[in-house]
Amino acid sequence: MLDKLTAIQQKISSSLDSIKILAELANFRVQTLGRKGELTRLLKAVGSLPPEERKELGKKVNEIRDQILSEIENKKAALEASALAESLITETIDVTLPGKTSPAGSLHPVTQFMWRLEELFISLGFDIVEGSLIETVYHNFDALNTPHNHPSRDEGDTFYIDETHVLRTHTSPMQVRTMERQKPPIRVIVPGMVSRRDEIDATHTPVFHQMEGLVIDRGITFADLRGMLDTIVRYVFGQEAKVRLRPSHFPFTEPSAEVDISCYACVTSKPGKLLPPKDDCSVCKGSGWVELWGCGMVHPEVLRKSGIDPSEYSGYAFGLGVTRMTSALYGIPTLKPYFENDVQFLKQF
Ligand code: PHE
């Protein structure tokens, strides 16, 4: 039996020498030391020998087993080292090749512009509130003093969900909701999407973005509103930009005005300079002014309906046409590209 053992040991050592790759070594280990390996079989056979032989032979088999194990480990380390050395020579990596990046999207110009406006209002102490896209007819119209026969309530102008709910046609219902739940002083802006039944053309889409502003406190006057409009317009269009107010009508403000700004395409097109309007300017048609939004002093009846005493408090509101201002700022002539999700267009901003 001892002879057999020595023979096995020699056989194992010499076949170990001829192994050249790691995968072969793993197989070899299983064949020799695994459950069905020669050595394991021998070890089992030792169990059936008489006790005095068993002890000595068992010890010998275990010694040989340990020796083979350490030979295999040494061989493994040597094979790994030479495999690494070889791969360092044959596998070269070109670190100058461009990496693989997955294309990232970009923020929509309207979102970017909204965020810029929000920064201004936050710095002026305003809170930001957002309403829901579906409003009650009461908040969208009645509470805003808009009578039943007003054209904006017509089914041809407004998307009705049912008899008492509409897709909000402006952000003004949030004036009412804010006043219902908060006592003055109030300073909020309401950025958001609104919907109207408009045919799509260069300047109309059935959805667009507005930003409502509402300020209510003791002693607020039209002069405060005017000052705020100047601040907003200069922040967005530069220090030279001028504001012009034209008398207008909204059921929920009194007095009401339309806000025009000096034409950004011709009059203030050169920073630091005010130029005369160009007769052939496609933006202002030679008038020098561009209409941007509506505003006014909050109507006493709207204050009363929302639970605020008009003899104690007054305030102003404005509704910025965000989409229109974005177009003005970037010189985008039509509204269509805003809704087409064309990355080529969106990437430019
Ligand atoms: N809600 C009005 C509109 O959509 C704009 C507006 C807001 C006017 C606030 C006055 C005060 O046309």
Cβ atoms of residues 211 and 189 within 8 Å: yes
Whole-angstrom distance, CA of residue 239 vs CA of residue 232: 10
Cβ atoms of residues 1 and 8 within 8 Å: no
Atom of ligand 1 nearest to the CA of 169: 4
pLDDT of residue 145: 96
How far, in Å, from the CA of 294 to the mean position of ligand 1? 5
**SS3 state of residue 135:** strand
pLDDT by residue for the chain (349 residues), tens only, comes to: 777 778 877 888 888 888 888 888 888 888 887 877 777 777 777 777 888 777 887 788 788 888 888 888 888 888 888 888 888 888 888 888 888 888 777 889 999 999 999 999 999 999 999 999 999 999 999 999 999 999 999 998 999 999 999 999 999 999 999 999 999 999 999 999 999 999 988 778 999 999 999 999 999 999 999 999 999 999 999 999 999 999 999 999 999 999 999 998 888 888 888 899 999 988 888 999 988 899 999 999 999 999 999 999 999 999 999 998 998 888 887 888 898 888 888 888 8
Cβ atoms of residues 198 and 205 within 8 Å: yes
Alpha helices, H only, the chain: 2-17, 22-33, 38-46, 51-90, 109-123, 137-140, 173-181, 222-237, 300-305, 322-330, 343-346
Reduced DSSP (H G I as helix, E B as strand, rest coil) percent helix, strand, coil of the chain, to 5: 45, 20, 35
pLDDT of residue 250: 96
Whole-angstrom distance, CA of residue 317 vs CA of residue 340: 32
Cβ atoms of residues 339 and 226 within 8 Å: no
Q: Whose CA is nearest to atom 9 of ligand 1?
A: 318
Cis peptide before 109 (omega within 30 of 0): no
Residues in CB range of 68: below 8 A, 6 or more apart:
9, 12, 13, 16, 32, 33, 39
8-state DSSP, 348:
T
Residues with CB under 6 A from ligand 1: 170, 172, 212, 250, 253, 256, 294-296, 317-319
Atom of ligand 1 nearest to the CA of 194: 4
Q: Whose CA is nearest to atom 10 of ligand 1?
A: 295
Take residue 109 and report the two structure tokens written for it: 């110009």
pLDDT of residue 149: 93
pLDDT of residue 216: 98
| Environment class of 183 (CB within 10 Å of its CB; exposed 0-12, middle 13-18, buried 19+) | exposed
Q: Whose CA is nearest to atom 12 of ligand 1?
A: 294
Take residue 291 and report the two structure tokens written for it: 């209409």
Strands 127-128 and 186-195: parallel
State the DSSP H helix or E strand holding residue 315, giving kind and residue range, or none if neither.
Answer: strand 314-321
pLDDT of residue 118: 97
